[in-house]
Amino acid sequence: MKREFLEELKLDKEVIDKIMNENGKDIEAEKSKVTAKDTEIEGVKTQLNEANKQIESFK
């Protein structure tokens, strides 16, 4: 959400600041979830590569 949008609604600066703060918290929480999933995906990729190497060694 952009501050300009809220300003166009003629909201008080204090209200806009509170809304932006809360929105920022939500965004950071979602970024944290994405980072955790990215880390999980990298771990799974590593496991897959190791499993593929092991399979190749059996051939």
Burial environment of residue 19 by CB neighbours within 10 A (0 to 12, 13 to 18, 19 or more): middle
Q: pLDDT tens digits, residue range 3-37?
A: 999 999 999 999 999 999 999 999 999 999 999 99
Q: What is the mean pLDDT of residues 37-46?
A: 98
- What is the pLDDT at residue 18? 97
- pTM exceeding the 0.75 threshold for the entire prediction: no
State how far the alpha carbon of 3 is from the alpha carbons of 11, 15, 28, in Å: 10, 11, 17
